[in-house]
Structure 1
Amino acid sequence: MNQSLNPWITSPATGTETEASAMEPRRPPAATITGPLRGMVEPDAADRLGHRPVTGTATVWVAGVHGGAGESRLAGILDGARPTEHAWPVPNRDQDQDHGRPAVVLVCRSDMRGLKAAQSALIQWASGAAPDVELLGLAVLADAPGKLPKALREFAVLVGGGAPRLWLLPWVESWRLGDTGAGPPAREYQRFATDLAALTN
């Protein structure tokens, strides 16, 4: 795959290459962004994700970028994960000196509002305006049953180009009905959990 296609780094050369990259939803297209980018301008203050002091430890902090993103739901199915209440986690360095940077997964819904909120949070991180965290990636949870419309899927992949990794996670009907004990669909969510376990061990 051509490593110059990530629109967060360079513009795509042809439409054909962009379509090909969209066939790989688990990874952003082209070169992977692993940290802040030189020259990236931070978003307006109103569009930034807040900072929240946290205590204790977590294998991964799950940060929803908007209300209803699903951060508590995801944190509940991941071993050792904790939600951040829609903010970047800022650990108490006096208590957590041996734990390094907090590992964070951003979470949004797959509607346009959710994806734009994720885009703003990723711009904040890429500009260096976020706290010092290890961003593992962006998880996009389906906002409705059925297949994601093409325009939203393409935009999700575009937004995901600003994260080290992208996971597109399907709708879970039992969660909608309030069945908190029912597990999520096996394949996509188990793969997501496996990926995070490998990244945080």
Structure 2
Amino acid sequence: MGNRWTGFVAPGTGAQAVSLLDETVSELPPVLRGAQAPQQGISAPDGDVRLERFPASSIGPYWLGAHGGAGETTFRELLDGVECHHRWPSPTPEAPSPVVVLLARQTHRGLESARRAAQGWASGQHPDVVLAGLVIVADTPGKTPRSLAAATRVISGGVPFTWMVPWIEELRLTGAVDWESMAREPRKVLTAIGEAVDELTSERIPQ
């Protein structure tokens, strides 16, 4: 398989590969599947901009926002776990394989930040971290622009799973989300994320 990162062009920065545009539609499925482990031949992101690290105090799950406003606090409140404050957890004797979920908004800036973070993991920069996947949160209601959908598909090829969380109007209006009143579609996706992360975490709790 070729390097899935080479075809990525951040939305608005240049022409997309024709094959990507041909196969991409504005509606993405709720879950996309990609590489299950770091891959040979994947280079680290260019430049010196990278997320810092901190020692893990538990297996997690750790909610790692690839950029400001990605939703670390919201996901910690909904699904428990630990906010990373935009840093990777480093393994410790108490937590030799912390479970991490990357978070990003589906915007130009958000997807570029997610790409860099995911590429860092795929290149082997965090070998002892268990990456559950990437959560992409819709930034507006309605259909996803084609360029953002194309970028999302490319990024999803480099991480185990990519979950697409639909727009949640309640979160914009109140700053919080109530499970009981949440719309069916986002609740289904959030439940799937929670189940997948719980399974990974329980498998790695020291006996």
Q: Considering the TM-score relative to the shorter chain, is it more than 0.5?
A: yes
CA distance in 1, matches of 2:4, 2:116: 15
Contact preservation (8 Å) 2:59, 2:97: no
The TM-score normalised by the length of structure 2 is: 0.77
Task: Give the counterpart letter for 2:4 in structure 1.
Answer: P
Change (3 A) 1:66 1:198: closer
Change (3 A) 1:6 1:187: farther
Aligned twin of 1:18: 23
Q: Secondary structure at the match of 2:174?
A: coil
Count of equivalent residues = 188
1:200 deviates by 3.1
1:8 deviates by 4.3
CA offsets 1:156-186 (integer angstroms, 9 cap, x no match): 1111111110111112122112342533433
CA distance in 1, matches of 2:118, 2:109: 14
Aligned twin of 1:187: 185
Q: Percent identity?
A: 32
Contact preservation (8 Å) 1:5, 1:13: no
1:143 deviates by 1.4
Within the candidate set 128, 140, 144, 1:148 is matched to 144
CA distance in 1, matches of 2:47, 2:6: 23
Task: Give the counterpart letter for 1:118 in structure 2.
Answer: A
Aligned twin of 1:73: 74
CA distance in 2, matches of 1:141, 1:106: 11
Change (3 A) 1:167 1:5: farther
Change (3 A) 1:76 1:105: same
Aligned twin of 2:98: 102
CA distance in 1, matches of 2:35, 2:107: 23
| Unmatched segments (≥5 aa) in structure 1 | none
Structure 1 residues 119-138: aligned runs within 5 Å: 119-130=115-126, 132-138=128-134
CA distance in 1, matches of 2:20, 2:85: 39
1:192 deviates by 3.3
Task: Give the counterpart letter for 2:185 in structure 1.
Answer: R
Change (3 A) 1:186 1:134: same
CA distance in 2, matches of 1:45, 1:23: 31
CA distance in 1, matches of 2:3, 2:71: 27
Aligned twin of 1:50: 52
Let me know the Cα RMSD of the aligned residues. Answer: 3.0
Contact preservation (8 Å) 1:139, 1:168: yes
Contact preservation (8 Å) 1:103, 1:200: no
Q: Secondary structure at the match of 1:42?
A: coil
1:147 deviates by 2.1
| Unmatched segments (≥5 aa) in structure 2 | 8-16, 200-207
Contact preservation (8 Å) 1:47, 1:117: no
1:138 deviates by 0.6
1:26 deviates by 1.1
CA distance in 2, matches of 1:101, 1:132: 5
Q: Secondary structure at the match of 2:148?
A: helix
Change (3 A) 1:88 1:185: farther
Within the candidate set 155, 161, 164, 2:160 is matched to 164
* Greater Cα shift, 137-146 or 173-182: 173-182
1:150 deviates by 1.8
